[in-house]
Amino acid sequence: MKPSLVRTGIAAGLVVLAGVPWIASPSIVQFGINMLLLAALAQGWNIIGGYTGYASFGNSVFYGLGSYGTAIAMLRWHLPFGIGLVLGTVIAVVFAALFGRAILRLRGHYFAICTLGLAEVMTAIVSNLEITGRNTGLVLPLLRGDVLFYELSLSLVVVATLIVAWIAHSRFGYGLIAIRENEEAAAAMGVDTTRYKVLAFSLSAAISALAGGIHAYWITFIDPVSAFDIGLNVKMIIVTVFGGPGSILGPVLGSFVLSGISEILSTNVSTVAGLFFGAVIVVAVVFMPRGVADLIRRFDKYRWRYFAENVRANRL
């Protein structure tokens, strides 16, 4: 597809998306908020996982820190939501920068396992602190305004996607991709690998924390188990990989398509929805391992052969 056509399509899509909550039913708006927040989270994961090649399970920690930071600021210190959101984000970024310096020395599975541990540790810590309400959690003031939360979530997706678009065409992004493709060669060519990785991790953390803060105020209730849920991190990864890791629009498309499929399945075949959902993922990984973004990019040229080529290339 032509770039100008893509741009027009995206702009039109954005207008439609922004208009949805003004006409759609409340349940659709709620579905939309969840879908958009997942898209933003996936886009955040895309920076560290997709571009830098570090499979992080720590993004749910940043999400949780964003939730708690926002909630604590609003409840304990009676600060407005906006300031709470900034505070939660700052906490998550500081956390990512400090821990990133240490754990980004690990590669591959070791990094993944270490970040997995972080989430467990955070759940335990937050469950035992007075300020976080221990394991009963916190209840935030109620604000009836799904439209506002929807538009806020949409803005976050747009900002996150713009950041990723900048990364994809910048010196910084090339440094990250070089790290993903071969870290030793990247360093030998002059990429300050430690600094770049920590920056990517922190940027990823900021987006996750913002999503966490918005979600906390929308849902009005957080507790340690749901705020630091590893399952959410797994969702970010599935959505990103389905959409196309290391691409600009892949994570957003992935979130839209998978959220849609998941919603349709759970309303129609509620009891076995999980099974069908799993099947969709498996089929996707086999036939389009580079994700939706790659499929769209190359379907024009290859047509239906695209799927056969993928199966052959992966020797399945």
Strand spans (E) along 120-195: 138-139
Q: Which of 60/247 has CB closer to other proteins?
A: 247
Least separation in angstroms between residue 163's CB and other proteins is 16
Place of tokens 């959409």: 243
Q: Give, in order, the Cα–Cα distances in Å from 100 to each of 111, 118, 119.
A: 10, 11, 14
Q: Helix crossing, 108-126 with 81-103: angle to 10°?
A: 140
Contact positions vs other proteins (CB under 8 A): 169-171, 174-175, 177-178, 180-182, 184-193, 246
A 10 A CB-CB count for 112 gives: 18
Minimum gap (Å) between residue 316 Cβ and other proteins = 19
Q: What minimum distance in Å lies between the beta carbon of 165 and other proteins?
A: 13
Please say which residue, 50 or 66, places its beta carbon nearer to other proteins. 50
To other proteins, the closest distance from the beta carbon of 242 in angstroms equals 18
CA distances from residue 82 to 73, 213, 245, 283 in whole angstroms, order as listed: 10, 9, 31, 42
- Residue number, 78 or 171, with CB nearest to other proteins: 171
Contacting residues for 115 by C-beta, under 8 A, at least 6 apart: 56, 57, 58, 61, 103
State in angstroms the smallest separation of the CB of 170 from other proteins: 7
